[in-house]
Amino acid sequence: MNTKTNPNAVRAAVRKAYGKVAQGGGGAGAAPPGCCGGGDVAPVDAARLGYSPAEREAIPAGADLGLGCGNPTGIAGLAPGETVLDLGCGAGMDVFLAARQVGATGRVIGVDMTPEMLARARENAARQGAVNVEFRLGEIEHLPLADASVDVVISNCVVNLSPDKPQVFREVFRVLRPGGRMAISDVVARGELPREIQDNPALIATCVGGAAPIDALRRMLALAGFDPVRVTPRDGSRDFIRDWAPGTGIEEMVVSATIEAVRPAG
């Protein structure tokens, strides 16, 4: 299967992988077959991703499936009253952390294309009694939100899974209000990845095969209309990335990064 020319196959493989993660539970010590923890590899502990002790304490039980590669709420600078969108929200970990920061006057919307993930997220919200969060089914290339309706877009290790990243960034630009910002954590490539990695469905679902080169991401964001744009690699991610595909040397090819961009106010 040539996943580069078959975007529907990519989405189907990713949806299947994360459906299994949602049904299996994930969390520390588990072995989900999806992003940032494939095969027999345990998911990444939130502490290694940059979540503070206070943030880890605030994560609802069942919301942390160990699927991230950073801490987007730590770089987003969220303020009370803001409306936030989480792309590929999973079981809702970053949604719930963001909801604490925007407070009762704010709102956080999580979008995910995997029904099993949304079911878990909604169960978590019900247990928490969270009233300023909402979860919607949808693809990040076709967001179920109105134009200029959110202040901030966050995401944790999801955009790399998309077979059409320029469309993702165009959609993010569309739903952001003028002056709004994107602050995401994702896996990026240090250079062009070998074709056998780009076309491997398992490595795509493990957040490796779909990683775009840093310069290409900057161009995509600029073409979507963002200015300024900043992509900052996190070299400390090397250790846990090595665990995603042991023996392949993938930690020399990809790195976790923070990606920040602003929709100009004009």
Q: How confident is the model at residue 211 (pLDDT cuts 50, 70, 90)?
A: very high
pLDDT at residue 240, as a whole number: 87
User: pLDDT tens across 58-72, in order?
Assistant: 998 889 888 899 999
Q: How confident is the model at residue 28 (pLDDT cuts 50, 70, 90)?
A: very low
HSE toward the beta carbon, residue 235, CA cutoff 13 A: 0
* Cα-only R_g, the chain: 17
Q: How confident is the model at residue 44 (pLDDT cuts 50, 70, 90)?
A: low
Q: How confident is the model at residue 29 (pLDDT cuts 50, 70, 90)?
A: very low
Q: Which residues contact 247 (CB under 8 A, 6 or more apart)?
A: none
Residue 186 backbone phi and psi in degrees, to 5: -155, 170
User: pLDDT tens across 150-178, in order?
Assistant: 999 999 999 999 999 999 999 999 999 99
pTM of the model: 0.90
Question: Tokens in use for 3?
Answer: 């996943």
User: pLDDT tens across 215-247, in order?
Assistant: 999 999 999 999 999 999 998 888 888 888 888
What Å distances lie between residue 26 and 61, 117, 167, 241, 258, CA to CA?
A: 11, 11, 30, 18, 24
Question: Tokens in use for 173?
Answer: 């630009």
For residue 142, the cross-strand partners are 139
